[in-house]
Amino acid sequence: MKTNIVDADFFPPEYLNKMNCKIVCSTENQTREEWLKYRQKGIGGSDIASMLGINPFHSPLALYWDKVSEIEIDEDMENIPAEAGIVLEPLIKRKMIKWFIKNEGVKVEIDDCKYILQHHENPLALANIDGMIIFPNNELCGAEYKTTNERNYKLWEGDNLPDYYYLQVQWYLYVTGLTKWYLGFLIGLRKFDVKIIERNDEVIEQLVNQTKDFWEDFIIPRIPPSPDGSISSGQTIKRMYPEEEAGKIIDITCIKNEDKMERLEIIKGQAKELKKEGDFIKQEFQVQMGDAEQAICSDKLINWKMQERKEHIVKASKSRVMRIGKYNVNGGKINGND
């Protein structure tokens, strides 16, 4: 099936004509605001985990607000991990090409594929893929690049792959009509490897249904999904209601809210008791440590060091701060992480 150009004035590379999808636009010279506006028209691969509530940094409520609100560009806001990931993409691409030569004995080309793609029948299904792998026999597969820190290495060990990345790739396989995707990942600038992800039509069918439900239940009627207690939901609520109306009072009394208020009071009381118990345990450790800087307890390392607080709003001071982290012996040296 020849690829259909939906809203663009350009000539796509020939390989895209072999794919069963549409091209919405080129992202080559797009501003971030333009790119975000196109993304509001549907659900992209990186939206899937948020929609399902498994993205630890972006809740369903945050995704809803991204789709229905006016585009806001905060030039001063920094997202260093995301920026670092973009900078490292050319490196991962080069490493992936070498990986194919070493592991599959074939030299491939990887095109950057700077387009927003759309499923040929489902206009809600969008994809902004990292690359398209072109084999010598003209076979096509997708390429995705990921970076993570060394603390997350267990999520990638062996056959492991974070669920949110697996589902993102399944969405790309659905949009493009392809059957295989290669995910190259870099862990802490120390380890590079590639995961091969096969198309799973059962998973794709579930994602398509859940996406349809999310769009029809929340986006179209402009009804926000419930918050989930996450930092992301809290930040989104502040974006949704940035200012109060002076003097406005509303009554939200109902049996459901009265039960929630009672539960909140119970939680506050439990939190106080748990904090007191935690402080008691730490004090016991401090008495046992005396003037020692560090203590070992099984696989934990306790640090109790002097920490200086410079003067700002309050008077400058310094005091010892206790931190408990993982304990291990590395080359004879004791290391502790918060």
SS (H, E, C) 16-50: HHHCCEEEEEECCCCCHHHHHHHHCCCECHHHHHH
CA distances to 84, 315, 331 from 327, rounded to whole Å, are 29, 34, 13
Q: Is the per-residue pLDDT at 308 higher than 60?
A: yes
Contact between 125 and 119 under an 8 Å Cβ cutoff? The reply is yes
Output the pLDDT for position 324.
Answer: 54
Residue type, 183: L
Output the pLDDT for position 104.
Answer: 94
User: Rounded to a whole number, what is the distance in angstroms from the first to the last CA of the chain?
Assistant: 54
Q: Is the per-residue pLDDT at 6 higher than 60?
A: no
Output the pLDDT for position 317.
Answer: 64
How much of the chain is in helix, strand and coil states, percent to nearest 5? 40, 25, 35
Output the pLDDT for position 325.
Answer: 66
- CA atoms within 13 A of residue 175's CA, in its CB half-sphere: 29
C-alpha span between 214 and 218 (Å, rounded):
6
* Stronger pLDDT, 38 or 328, i.e. the higher one: 38
Predicted confidence band at 5 (pLDDT cuts at 50, 70, 90)? low
Angle subtended by helix axes 201-214 and 163-176, to nearest 10: 90
Which residues lie across from 194 on neighbouring strands? 184
Predicted confidence band at 1 (pLDDT cuts at 50, 70, 90)? very low
Q: Is the per-residue pLDDT at 41 higher than 60?
A: yes
C-alpha span between 121 and 226 (Å, rounded):
30
Enumerate domains of the chain plus CATH numbers: 4-235 (3.90.320.10), 291-338 (no CATH)
- Find the mean pLDDT for residues 294-306: 91
- Find the mean pLDDT for residues 299-317: 75
Residue type, 122: N
* pLDDT digits 0-9 by tens, 121-168: 999 999 999 999 999 998 999 999 999 988 888 889 888 999 999 999
User: How high is the mean pLDDT of the chain?
Assistant: 88
* Ramachandran area for residue 201 (φ above 0: left; ψ -120 to 50: alpha; else beta): alpha
| Ranges 69-83, 129-143, 273-287, 293-307: which has the least confidence | 69-83
Output the pLDDT for position 120.
Answer: 94
* pLDDT digits 0-9 by tens, 273-289: 999 999 999 999 999 99
Predicted confidence band at 52 (pLDDT cuts at 50, 70, 90)? very high
Output the pLDDT for position 329.
Answer: 60
pTM equals 0.81
* pLDDT digits 0-9 by tens, 185-228: 999 888 999 999 999 999 999 999 999 999 999 999 999 999 99
